Structures are given as C-alpha cells and as structure tokens.
Amino acid sequence: MPHKVFNDAHTALAGLTFDAMTVMSGGFGLCGIPENLILALRDSGARGITVISNNAGVDDFGLGMLLRTRQIKRMVSSYVGENKEFERQYLAKELELEFNPQGTLAERIRAGGAGIAGFYTRTGVGTLVAEGKEHKDFGGQTYILETGLVADLSIIKAWKGDREGNLIFRKTARNFNPMMATAGKVCVAEVEEIVEIGALDPDAIHTPGIYVDRIVQSTFEKRIEQRTVRKRESA
C-alpha cells in the first residue's frame, strides 16, 4: 500500500500543481471546504486554473483567496452570489464562468467519476443553459445533453479518515465532496482526524480509500457564510 498520509497541506500538494490545470474543490457554501488545501494551492503559484466548485467562497476565505491572487481563469459553478471580487472580475471580463443548475453540476461530476461521457436532462431546456447544447426528444419531452466532468486534481474535506484514505463526511459536507473524490485524476483529502486502519465502521464509510491518493490532518476555522439572527424582543 502506498504511503498516503502527509504532514501538512503544502507537502500533500507537492508535485501535483501546474499552470492551466483543472481543480475540483469540494464543499457547499463554506461547509466542508478544503480550506488548507486551497491555501496550499494558492501558495503553489499555479495560474490559469479552471476550478469546478459549487460556489466560489467569500472574498477573504476559501476559493476567494485564489480569486484575490488572480490564479483562477475559469469557474464551473452553480452559486457565486457571496463573492464581490468574483462579481467584479466577471463583469470586467477578467474571469470566465460556466453556470450550471446545481443538480446538473452534481450529476456532471458524478458522471465524470463513473466514466459516463454525457447524459440527457430536462433541466435548463428553453433557457440560456441550453444554448449550444444538443437537444433530443424522449417520450415527447425535450432534453439537453450535458457532459461529465473530470479534473486533474480533486481537493476535498472530510470529517474523519483512516491511513488508507477511507473517509467519513458529516452532514452538508457530503453534498459535493464524495463525488469529487471519484472524478479527479488525483484526489487529496484533508480531514479533522486520521485514525488507524480498521477503526472506522465499514458500513459508515462514504468514500472508499481506493479513490484517495493523499490524506492530511488539518485544523479548520469553520466560518459561517451568513449569520442571521433575530432581533431581541423588548420586555
């Protein structure tokens, strides 16, 4: 079994980054994002990156750090509404963007990991999403062709993993991380805790270690993307 455990995020990405690469970055909002691996990717100096991610973080955290340094050339995303720098770069035509309905993005990633070149979906028919895509009728309904997505590198975040790379995710962090693990040519996972092989209940494992090439234990800030509170009622 190859040695998968690395001491820190920077060494975990050593030798894996290069200009014009495609990176899948897991997470949903700021939940379950590989925040330390994102910083290591920033520090690698790789430029012209295409990033496949549900969202683009916020201005000073997550993928927003790569936008700040102008290392991202193109985003394939679903929701980008929390990042002012993203908005500025896009409107100034400094950043390319491919919008996807959220379910379509998830299925494109899953399809890529499963070796499926493309699939037909009704989502987006008759909208800007469908422009330039093949249309086909099934059972009297029109569908559009969407292609599977793969990446040179997947960076993901899990709750717990063992030294073989078997992973367990918690709650919302399961939205994109597990499927991205399967769709990257190389997958690097950061986790809150690494345990010994055999310590995880096999029935509880979400991503088998066969999909994970490198793993690193990190500490996390775990920010809240939007904090909404109710005003205190007067007595």
Between 234 and 99, the higher pLDDT residue: 99
- For 55-92, the pLDDT digits (tens) are 988 888 999 999 999 999 999 999 887 788 999 999 99
Could you tell me the CATH number of the domain that includes residue 83? 3.40.1080.10
Residue 225 in any domain: the answer is no
pLDDT exceeds 60 at position 1: no
Q: Which pLDDT value is given to residue 228?
A: 76
Residue 122 in any domain: the answer is no
Model confidence pTM above 0.85:
yes
Q: Which domain holds residue 31?
A: 5-117+150-217
Q: Which pLDDT value is given to residue 235?
A: 60
Residue 228 in any domain: the answer is no
From 58, 47, 59, select the one nearest 23 (Cα to Cα). 47
Q: Which pLDDT value is given to residue 221?
A: 80
Residue 206 in any domain: the answer is yes
- For 153-203, the pLDDT digits (tens) are 999 999 999 999 999 999 999 999 999 999 999 999 999 999 999 999 999
- For 43-56, the pLDDT digits (tens) are 999 999 999 999 98
pLDDT exceeds 90 at position 219: no
Other residues' Cβ atoms within 10 Å of the Cβ of residue 7: 9
Local confidence band at 2 (pLDDT 50, 70, 90 cut-offs):
low
Residue 97 in any domain: the answer is yes
Q: Which pLDDT value is given to residue 222?
A: 74
Q: Which residues are paired to 97 by β-bridges?
A: 75
Domains contained in the chain, number: 1
- For 94-136, the pLDDT digits (tens) are 999 999 999 999 999 999 999 999 999 999 999 999 999 999 9
CA distances from 139 to 107, 120, 145, 146, 161 (A): 22, 13, 16, 19, 45
Residue 224 in any domain: the answer is no
